[in-house]
Every structure is written in structure tokens, then in C-alpha cells.
Structure 1
Amino acid sequence: MSNAAPTPHPHAAPFPAQERLAAGAQYINGRLRPGTSGRTHSVIDPATGDAVYTYELAGTQDVDDAVAAAKAAFPGWAGATPGERSDALHRFAAVLAERAEEFAQAESLQCGKPIKLTREFDVPGTVDNTAFFAGAARHLQGQSAGEYSGDHTSYVRREPIGVVGSIAPWNYPLQMAAWKVLPAIAAGNTIVLKPAELTPLTSLLFAEAATAAGIPDGVVNVVTGTGKEAGEHLVGHPDVAMTSFTGSTAVGKRVAEVATATVKRLHLELGGKAPFVVFDDADLEAAANGAVAGSLINTGQDCTAATRAYVQRPLYDAFVERTKQLMETVRLGDPFAPDTDLGPLISHAQRDRVAGFVERARGYARIVTGGEAPKNDGAYFQPTLIADAAQDSEVVQSEIFGPVLVVLPFDTDDEGLALANDTPYGLAASAWTRDVFRANRATREIKAGCVWVNDHIPIISEMPHGGYKASGFGKDMSAYSFEEYTQVKHVMYDNTAVAAKDWHRTIFGDR
């Protein structure tokens, strides 16, 4: 692992953000435009500390305009047939695939992600999500008709909610834009998306691609502003029927507070502190490889990342040593270099936050490897392995959101599973064992929205993603996401043609 400062982007011409998005960082009613807040913000390349895009932030007027555009577009889009929406989403997937390299470069530039991650994970995953929802748009069905009372025929309609106001985080800007936009519009809703002001580039490109695919103006809108101004105004807007938010649990509580005032539908995907439970019969090499990959993906800025490894005592020392060895092979470097494994954190502030957790841990735990910020201009931090921390310590209980893995031993299976559940979070987890009974028990008893067995991190479009406990509620991806973005309506027809129904006697008469 090199601590030397990487040469700034010698391997590819970074995405020319200022030129490409010169018209502004608000996408309203099918076009880019500047914000109206009177304040500017700069997107910073975290690998170099350089400003790569300066734009005018959204004000409340921009939010109002975007919601109005979405509201005006809703009747036509909701009235389109499932086949018409499906065709538009298939075209959308094709446009995204054609523009894949532009998306990959823009995502790497604004986030510091290694280009191999954006090319092989973020962008293909988004194209696949879009293709999935193109097909799923044709399968928004309610319950078949039935005569449940004997005198009536009932059926269930599944209908779009209206205008959705969504807020996405900075760690996976493109994928989170897709996770918010796609189920919403496939179900017939229109949407206003607020990306993080740190990382708006690919959300704007995503909205442009929707328009290029023939999705009508106003169906997909983007407002780029601060959470306090643009975000809260969007969540509290009376014409927004639903809010979907991905981010920290602390901010999620504020979103819920604002949304409650207007009694709107709410979907929250919040923080995580995923346990990685290694039983004593596990494949040690597989578990160590999985722990390194699962804890370091996206520089650890992933709410499903492996953060707490619980290893049964017979394997504990060997696991710590092998994980250390593997971590020390990870290459920090220029995100645009094809051999870079780990890029910088999103910002210097985030790097300093991670460094603070590690520095405090030195007083009560053992830093096995890493634990330092390389001396360069980027927001880099070494892959870090911590051992001998107590279960109630800060690094075990708090979401660090950086390239840090904490390893703790356990003795009995009961203890390992209890420790896995011993946080407020419940987004993701994994269990490592060759024993099918142990695996089944772990998947039953671990309280998390996703439990992997002998792997950690893979997601697929067909399966849902969402949490338990303080990790939120509701599902992204898969057909299950339509439960968040649709209203269920019961329709009942009288089959008797009788004017005086038998039940009327409860109101009048002695029939």
C-alpha cells in the first residue's frame, strides 16, 4: 500500500463538468437551469482537493417550480399504459448504456471512486436496474376479482401516489438516483429528486438521459440545494405526496418530523453497522477475503459495508492475521488509474471524522494495520483493522463510514448472534459457515433486511433492499419497492340490482 500522493488524474481526462453542465445544476421540466438561492457551491474532487464544478444552489422557488412541473406531468404519465411506460424505460436503459463511460467518469470525479468500481459496479448496476423496472412496469397488478361477500364483486387497483419528493446521499449518487427515480416513475408517479450538493453530477446526467429516452418533461426533475433549504422545503411541500430518503439515521428523524406535518407516505433507508459473523467451521480464506472486500468497498462509505467482524475464538487469531495481510495489499491511488483499489473519502471533513474515530480507539483497542491518513492533498485514509475493542465501544456501536473494520471474538453460537444484533441498526449482515443449520439459524435470528451467507455486499435488481430497526423501513429495488410507490384501492360492485339491501334494516325498517 503506497502512502505517496498520487499524480492527479494522469490516466484519463476527467469529466468536464463545468462545460458539460454549464446551464446549471437544476433540472426542471426537461431542461437544465441555474438555481435561484443567490448562493454558489463547488463540487470538490476528493482526490486532489480541486473544485471541478461551481453552480448556483437551489432555493425554495426552484423546489416550487420542480414540484409544479411534476404535478402538471402527473396526469399524463399516470394515464400512460404500463406498456408505454415500459417502452420508455427500455429506451432509458439503452441511453444509459450508450453513455456509460461519461457516467463512470463523472461519478469517479465527484466521489473519488476508483474508475474500475464505477465502470464495473455503479454504472452497470444502474443500467440493469433500469432494464428491470422497464419489465416490472408491466406487472403492477392488484388482486383478481372475487365475490367475497356473496352479493358483490371486489377487486384491488394499484395506483400511483402522485408527486414523489426524494432525497439521495453522496456515497452512491448515480445508483441512489436510480433507486429513487425508477420505481417511482415505473409505477406512474412523477418525481423531484434532491441529490447531495456534494455530488450532483450524475443525477443531472440521469435526468437528461430520461428526457433523451422520450420520458415526458416534468416526470423527472432534479433540484440541487442544501438539506436545510431545498430538502426541508421539498419534504414539507403540500403537493408532494410521498418522501423517500436515504441517509443517516439522525437526518432521517428530521425528515420524518417534517413529513409527518403533511401526513405523507414516508420511505427511509438509513444507517447501518453490518455484522460479519464467522463461525469456527468457516472457510478462513473466503471469510478474510470477504471481510476485506466487504469493509473497503467504496472506501467503506457504504451503509451495508462489513464493519463488525465477530469471529469464533478458534479462528480469531488466524482471521485477524490473514485479514491484516490482505488489507496491506490494497492499493490507494488516483481514482482514474486502472490499478487503483481504493480512492479517497468523499471529503477532507469525512477523512478527519474517520481519523478521529481511529485516534480515539488507540486509547482502548489495538490498531492492527492502517490508521493513518497519507500525506497528500487528497482525502485518503489507509485501510484500517482494529482488534480488542469492547462491544460497547464507539468503534463497535457507531457508524464510522470509512475504511475501518473492527474484529471481536466470541465463544458460543448464542453469543455470536447476540453480539451481531447488539446495535440499533439492522440493514445488512453476513454469516460465514459450512453448516446449513448454523446458516439457517443465523438468517432467522439476525435482525437485518439482508443476510448474506458466505458472501457480503452483492445486490441484485430482483431482490429488495431495506432495513430493520433504526436502519429505516420500506424497500428499494425489486417488485417489493412498488409497495412504497403505489396506493392500493378496493373497488366493490353490487351484483344484486336490489334497491333495498338486506343490511339496510340496521338503519331503517324491520325487513
Structure 2
Amino acid sequence: MTTELRRLRNYIDGEFRDAADGRTTEVVNPATGEAYATAPLSAAADVDAAMAAAEAAFPAWRDLVPAERQKVLLKIADRFEERAEELIAAESENCGKPIALVRSEEIPPMVDQIRFFAGAARMLEGRAAGEYMDGFTSIIRREPVGVCAQVAPWNYPMMMAVWKFAPALAAGNTVVLKPSDTTPASTVLIAEIIGGVLDELGHSRGVFNVICGDRDTGRLMVEHPTPAMASITGSVRAGMQVAESAAKDLKRVHLELGGKAPVVVFEDTDIAKAVEDISVAGYFNAGQDCTAATRVLVHESIHDEFVTALAKAAADTKTGPVDDEDVLYGPLNNANQLAQVKRFIDGLPAHAKIEAGGHQVGEKGYFYAPTVVSGLKQDDEIVQKEVFGPVITVQSFRDEDQAVEWSNGVEYALASSVWTKDHARAMRMSKKLDFGCVWINTHIPLVAEMPHGGFKKSGYGKDLSGYGFEDYTRVKHVMTSLDG
């Protein structure tokens, strides 16, 4: 007996629509490996329609006083809370994520982040007006950039959608947002929620649009002449392609790309506490997090003890179905990602040692065991490249200088952490580590008030915080003569 697949649709100018040419793609639940829905495979006509809707809605939305945009965002946050169970179900099916963890670890921060940006809408900052030339007063205006083309990833489809639309809308921009082709369900539900709020409060529903599709759809969005800004969270390759494409018409670009976070553990660390926290930060969301604690550098004097403890923590960590409240993480997102993780493990050099895991779990879905690999060298592929799976590597370092050299010796520069009781050493390391975030004696907490973003091939621009809000604005100088 064949189960009928649910039909997801684009949301353009307040209407749910199929792709103009009718093409679709199947959406697979990674916990089962089976298709549960179809989504539009949007092409140029769909992108044109979404951009036209956003462009038409922009002047009125831009000209609202910030307090009015704040009302909209606060109402959206309220609706997220009211419809939390629907969002949880959609995200769990999207990603195979444990229901209990989506409820506790994603819904509350998402709601908080929307409310933060609702407040940020009313805190536009600039230099004080003043006379910097005799007879003239200068004023700074901070304005929205226009229509924003935004592409969200598949590891946190809901939360990354929030990180994109909330600051953009708060600043007065209009949005065309594309979810990953493997995880469109929760974003389509978000469109329904936001569209309902806009309609209820009397604003154009063209302020927020969602189109589903693949990489070609994203490419068409970035290449389109309408958007003033392109924002993407994704791979380094995708980010470089977006930057190259956007350069052709000088679009502003916001890129949050890959990571390979070093976790530097010194000899004075409480090993048991560090292992407990690092294993959670490395395996949460199946390690599919660009800030995940997956590259541990531990001082040689405690290396063996640390590896033994970490391997035990891995063995005690559970992956499994969405309704099991004892699991820390669910499956990898898709078959290609599972194959990539397997390739890294199958291709380990002879000097590497698998201390725990290293294998697929179960016959259904894309589950992979919590894995620890030791004995690695700095130039090994698994140390240099992002695995994006539940795999923690361990290297042994001899002193602080080597720890810094190896930490910085990758092409990514998003996040890092230092574990030590020595305050002066922690401060030295935080200065020397070339990463957008340095955690001390913790790894992975984020707050709406603080920026998230990296350097080097991890991209540029900031998510969250006032800095993230400012990324969606432009600065204008207005000078007036005092002669009247």
C-alpha cells in the first residue's frame, strides 16, 4: 500500500503556490530513509514572482516606524510559542531530531531571538549629529538595504531561518527565503505563521516569501537583479560561489560557512567535567554544527587519561528515534552526509586509532555512532576538513605555542574553546586564537545579545546581536547648511 506524500508549496505574496512549471522533489525523513512529502523545485519564474512581491512590499515596510515592525515581530514570537508543537513536529520530521530536544533546545532560543530583534528595531544607532565643518550639521541615517535573498541550511532549518528573517525584517527589509531542499517543511510552516501575522496586523504579506528548491534555485536568487543583499549559511564552496555571483552586480553578501573548532584542553583541567561538556558539544545534533566541539587538542601529560574518558562518554552517548527521550541526537540529515562521514572514517591513515564508534547504527535511516579517533597528525584530512558528523578527533600537544599553532592551522575560523584553571593563560589564548568566538571552560552556548560569525573561510558578517542587526542596514550621511 502506497502512502500519499504531503504536498509542500512555495509562499509568495501571501499565497501558497506550486512551482510555475509544476516540478517537485521528494523530501525524505532521515530517521526512516523514506519520503514523506514533495516540495516545489522552483525555477526562474518562481524566483521572479517572489522577488517582485518582496520589492513591491518594501517601500511601505521600510517606511513604518520601528515600533510597528516591533509589534509584528513580537506577535510572530507569540505565534511560535502558541504553535510550538506544530513547529517541533515539522522540524523533527525534517531532520529526524529528537522531539524532546527540539522542544527544550530550539523553540525557547528561537522565540527569544525574535524578541531580541524586535527590540533591536527600536535601537538604531549612529554617531551623534554635530558640526564637523563650520556652518554645517551632519546627521547619520541608518536605513534598510532593500530586498534580501536568504538561503538557510539543513542542520538547523528553523533556527537559521529565524537568524535570517528576524534581523532583516526588524531593520525594515523584505525577504525571500529558501530552505535547503532536504528540509523545507518547517520553513513552509513558518511562512504560514508569519503570513498570518502580517495579514492580521494589516501589512503586505509580500514582506516575507519562501521558495523551495535546490542549488540552482539558490543561484537564481543570488543572481537576480532585485535583491540588495544575499545571505547564506552553508558550505565554504557554496559561500564562495555566492560571493563570486554577487560580485557581478556588487550585492552585499553575508556568509556563515564551515567550521573546525579547536577544543584546547590544558593539563590543569578537570578532566571529568571537560569530557562531559565536550562530548555533548561534539555530538549534539549529530555533530552537524559548524561550531561543534569535534577537534580536541589535549596536553600530552593527560592525553591518555582524557582519551579513555572521552571514549567511555562516547560509548554512553545514545542516538536513536525521535520519540526516545534518552537520546542525545538523531540521524545525519541525508544519505550524502552519511556517505561523507563514512568516507572520512574509511579513509583514516594507518596511524589513526578509532577509540569508539566508527560505524553506522541500525538498518533504517542515517544514524551514525558517536565516534572518537586518536593518534592523528595536524595534516591529516580529518583534522583539516569539516566532517559535520558525530566524530571527535584528538591530538596531543606539548606546550601552549604548539596548541596555538595547531588550533589556527586550518582554513576555518568560526569557533574555539580553551579549558584551563589558569586565568592568565585563558586570556592569552583568547587573544591568540584566530576564531570569531572563544569559549573558556565551556563550548557552544549562544545568546541573542552576542555575535556569531567567523573569519577566513568561515565567512564574514555576524548573526545575532546588534552587529547582526547592523549587517542588514546601510549608513547614509546627511549634511545640511546652517545658513537656512
Give secondary structure in 1 for the equivalent of 2:401: helix
Unaligned stretches of 5+ in structure 2?
none
Aligned residue number for residue 465 of structure 1: 452
1:174 and 2:158 correspond:
yes
Q: 1:357-400 deviations in whole A, cap 9, x for unaligned? A: 01111533000010011241110110100000111001100101
Q: Deviations over 1:441-484 (max 9, x none)?
A: 11111111111001111111111110111100000111111221
Say whether residues 1:441 and 2:432 are aligned partners.
Answer: no
Per the TM alignment, residue 417 of structure 1 is displaced from its structure 2 partner at its CA by 1.3
**8 Å Cα contact 1:192-1:221 kept in structure 2:** yes
CA distance in structure 1 between the aligned counterparts of 2:161 and 2:204, rounded to whole angstroms: 18
Structure 2 match to 1:115? 99
- Aligned to 2:140, the other structure's residue is in SS state strand
- Aligned equivalents of 1:455, 1:345: Cα separation in 2: 25
1:256 to 215, 239, 243: 243
Higher Rg of the two aligned structures: 1
SS in 1 for 2:205: coil
Aligned residue number for residue 91 of structure 1:
75
CA contact (8 A) 1:36 1:57 kept: no
Pick one of 212, 222, 241 that aligns with 1:224: 212
Choose which of 262, 266, 273 in structure 2 pairs with 1:275. Answer: 262
TM-score by length of 1: 0.91
Shift of 1:282: 1.1
CA distance in 1, matches of 2:483, 2:178: 51
Tell whether the 8 Å contact from 2:283 to 2:328 is kept in structure 1 after alignment.
no
Q: For residue 84 of structure 2, what is the amino acid of its counterpart?
A: A
Residue 23 of structure 2 corresponds to which residue in structure 1? 39
Structure-1 residue corresponding to 2:32: 48
TM (normalized to structure 2)?
A: 0.97
Q: Which residue of 2 aligns with 1:146?
A: 130
Query: Does the CA-based 8 Å contact 1:235-1:259 persist in structure 2?
Result: yes
- Report the equivalent of 1:78: 62
Distance 1:375 1:212 in 2: 41
Match of 2:440 in 1: 453
**TM-aligned CA deviation for residue 316 of structure 1:** 0.9
Percent identical: 46
Q: Distance in 1 between matches of 2:96 and 2:73?
A: 29
After superposition, the CA RMSD in angstroms is: 1.4
**Any idea what SS the aligned residue of 2:138 has?**
strand
Q: Is the 8 A contact 2:285 2:328 kept in 1?
A: no
1:54-74: CA deviation from partner (whole Å, max 9, x where unpaired): 133111111100000000000
Within a 5 Å distance, the mapping from 1:54-453 to structure 2 comes to 54-214=38-198, 216-228=204-216, 230-361=217-348, 363-453=350-440
8 A contact 1:475–1:481 mirrored in 2: yes
Counterpart CA distance in 2 for 1:490 and 1:305 is 41
Say which SS state the counterpart of residue 360 (structure 2) adopts: coil
Q: CA deviation at 1:141?
A: 2.9
Alpha-carbon shift at residue 17 of structure 1 (Å): 11
Secondary structure of the structure 1 residue equivalent to 2:141? strand
Q: Tell me, yes or no, if the aligned pair for 1:25 and 1:57 is still in contact at 8 Å.
A: no
Q: Deviations over 1:12-51 (max 9, x none)?
A: xxxx9955xx4x4201111211112442211111111111
User: Secondary structure of 1:281's partner?
Assistant: coil
Contact 2:54 2:147 in 1 (8 A): yes
Contact 2:117 2:469 in 1 (8 A): no
1:260-303 deviation line (CA, Å, top 9, x unaligned): 11111011111000000001111111211122011101100100
CA contact (8 A) 1:37 1:56 kept: no
Deviation at 1:347, TM superposition (A): 1.3
Greater shift in the superposed pair: 135-144 or 148-157? 135-144
